[in-house]
Chains A and B, each alone.
Chain A
Amino acid sequence: MIDVRNLTVRYGDTTVLHGVSLAVAEGESFALVGESGSGKSTILKALVGQVDDWQGQMTLAGHALQPGRRADLARQVQMVFQDPYGSLHPRRTVDDTLAEPLAIHGIKGRDARVLAMLDAVGLPRRFRFRLPHQLSGGQRQRVAIARALMLEPRVLLLDEPTSALDVSVQAEILNLLKGLRAEKGLTFLLVTHDLPVVSFLCDRLAVLRAGRVEEAAAVATLRAAGLRSAYGRELLERSGLV
């Protein structure tokens, strides 16, 4: 579903990614783990065309991507961002936000689809005409997930979707994501620094450090604390300790 080969990204003089390769099968949930500056978010940005200049090959849902061109893959791949406060337009109601992708692609049946999606992400229908400032962080993140699913994409890119949320709300969102994946057969590519979240939501993971893949492993290896790379072990240790 996602195939990245030898991806190199430079911002000016600094190289953010040094020839990263990874492959995610259809229906799989794959995690990119690493600290800030490891380049994990850059991979997501490159996949959705938010990075202009890159080298290497990327294939997404069977479409080869080209640097500097934003491929029209809106109906294949969508993204959920970290910050539920910055990812919703402050002057548009939940209804406006959810209906926008339908309007862009000329899809009919706005009311029915919006209501169905509110049900799917567990938002009460009475929230439909609220503005973002009338919602809590968890509710906003549900709106962001609903927005990403409006076009029924096959791939969902998740950029630290729960790290800005409270623990009890994180559990709700993680359950929702897991349920939606099972129900709709979605492919997940998740960026996080939280190993327990990976263990809950993912099948495989790659450990990134300074723009390189240090290690790729199945989640069972992670659960058994069996990461081999030096950095992988360090992450394990610190997640346990701190």
Chain B
Amino acid sequence: MSLLAVDNLRVTFPSDQGPVEVVRGLSFALGRERLGIVGESGSGKSMTGRAIMGLIGAPGRVTADRLEFEGRDLRNLPEWEFRKLRGARMSMVLQDPKFSLNPVIRIGDQIAEALEFHTQLSASARRVRVLEALEAVRIDDPERVARLYPHEVSGGMGQRVMIAMMVVMEPALMIADEPTSALDVSVRGQVLDIMDDLVRRRGMGLLLISHDLNMVARWCDRILVMYRGQIVEELGAGALNTAQHPYTLGLLASLPKLNEERATLPILDRAALDGFMAGAAR
């Protein structure tokens, strides 16, 4: 049974010009695997993650023919039930740890907060779990880090703390929205490795949302390429070279490469692309 099943997911926001669909009929299934969603800003990739987490508030509207997590229908789930699910069974890592951590609460206490909310563990048992979680994200001296405030740690460390916060509840599904784009290249690898390790060892499902085609390609089992709220192409691991859709090809071509000399970079022809999409839809 798949962990997450999504069928014909639609997210709509009202605007002056009438309702605007930012996610237009998305369907996919996620098992205990690493699935990447790639797209540019405005493709609806982040809205997809938020819709699954039940984080799209009014005036946005989420509809789907099917939206199931661990066999449970998420459509019209009341907010208090969603709250029990979020953080415990499914959790989300966001782009910038600076904005996701509360600056005036010690790191250890912030991680313990989820345990306090979702479990009946005693304070000392919570503490053990917090230190374990920090160790799991390869923090060498968890005791010291747990006592620090968020501003006292670096960006890479902050992101690891965020991940520790997510895994402390041992969720079945982790949604990571651009988890590394605020980080330096040298720490990106570490953070991805840690997430990879957790997914494999604990058998979690991971939805990695990113704009970075190459990173996702190297790192996920499957990739969904999104454009204008739709999936335009699904690719297997490391199979970027088999991409067929003009959008994927256009993206790949427009990336500068280290070992070649081009006078100009080819530019994505959006008009032709929209023509192609309209033709494909018919």
- Which residues of chain A have a CB within 8 Å of any CB of chain B? 35-36, 137, 166-172, 174-175, 178-179, 193, 195-197, 199-200, 222-225, 234-236, 238-242
13 more CB-based (< 8 A) A-B contacts, given A169-B40, A171-B267, A242-B185: A35-B185, A166-B41, A166-B211, A167-B213, A167-B255, A168-B268, A171-B265, A172-B267, A174-B256, A175-B264, A193-B185, A196-B258, A241-B218
The answer to whether A238 touches B189, judged by C-beta atoms less than 8 angstroms apart, is: yes
- Which residues of chain B have a CB within 8 Å of any CB of chain A? 40-41, 155, 180, 184-186, 188-189, 192, 211, 213, 215, 218, 250-251, 254-268
The answer to whether B41 touches A137, judged by C-beta atoms less than 8 angstroms apart, is: yes
18 A-B residue pairs with Cβ-Cβ distance under 8 Å, sorted by A, are A36-B155, A36-B184, A167-B40, A167-B211, A167-B254, A168-B251, A168-B254, A169-B40, A171-B255, A175-B265, A196-B258, A222-B258, A235-B185, A238-B186, A238-B189, A242-B192, A242-B215, A242-B218
Q: Which residues of B contact A197 (CB under 8 A)?
A: 256
The answer to whether A199 touches B192, judged by C-beta atoms less than 8 angstroms apart, is: no
Residue of A nearest to B262 (CB): A200
Pick the residue among A193, A195, A199, A241 that contacts B189 (CB under 8 A). Answer: A241
In the bound complex, CA of A224 to CA of B259 (Å): 7
Nearest 10 Cβ contacts at the A-B interface = A171-B254, A171-B265, A168-B268, A166-B40, A200-B256, A196-B256, A35-B184, A242-B188, A242-B189, A175-B264
Given A35-B186, A193-B184, are A239 and B211 also a contact pair (CB < 8 Å)? no
In the bound complex, CA of A166 to CA of B215 (Å): 14
The answer to whether B186 touches A195, judged by C-beta atoms less than 8 angstroms apart, is: no
The answer to whether B267 touches A175, judged by C-beta atoms less than 8 angstroms apart, is: yes
Q: Which residues of B contact A174 (CB under 8 A)?
A: 256, 265
Residue of B nearest to A37 (CB): B184
Pick the residue among B155, B184, B266 that contacts A171 (CB under 8 A). Answer: B266
Residue of A nearest to B259 (CB): A223
Q: How far is the CB of A32 from chain B (nearest CB, A)?
A: 15
Q: Which residues of B contact A242 (CB under 8 A)?
A: 180, 185, 188-189, 192, 215, 218
Q: Which residues of A contact B40 (CB under 8 A)?
A: 166-169
Residue of A nearest to B39 (CB): A166
Q: How far is the CB of B225 from chain A (nearest CB, A)?
A: 12
Q: Which residues of B contact A35 (CB under 8 A)?
A: 184-186
The answer to whether A238 touches B257, judged by C-beta atoms less than 8 angstroms apart, is: no
Interface centre among B254, B258, B266, B268 (most CB of A within 10 A): B258
In the bound complex, CA of A196 to CA of B256 (Å): 5
In the bound complex, CA of A200 to CA of B254 (Å): 11
Residue of B nearest to A163 (CB): B181
Residue of A nearest to B191 (CB): A242
In the bound complex, CA of A97 to CA of B263 (Å): 31
Interface centre among A35, A200, A240 (most CB of B within 10 A): A200
Q: Which residues of A contact B215 (CB under 8 A)?
A: 242
Q: How far is the CB of B254 from chain A (nearest CB, A)?
A: 4
Q: Which residues of B contact A239 (CB under 8 A)?
A: 185, 258
Residue of B nearest to A195 (CB): B258
Q: How far is the CB of A58 from chain B (nearest CB, A)?
A: 27
In the bound complex, CA of A131 to CA of B238 (Å): 42
Q: Which residues of B contact A175 (CB under 8 A)?
A: 264-265, 267
Q: Which residues of B contact A223 (CB under 8 A)?
A: 258-261
Q: How far is the CB of B217 from chain A (nearest CB, A)?
A: 11
Residue of B nearest to A222 (CB): B258
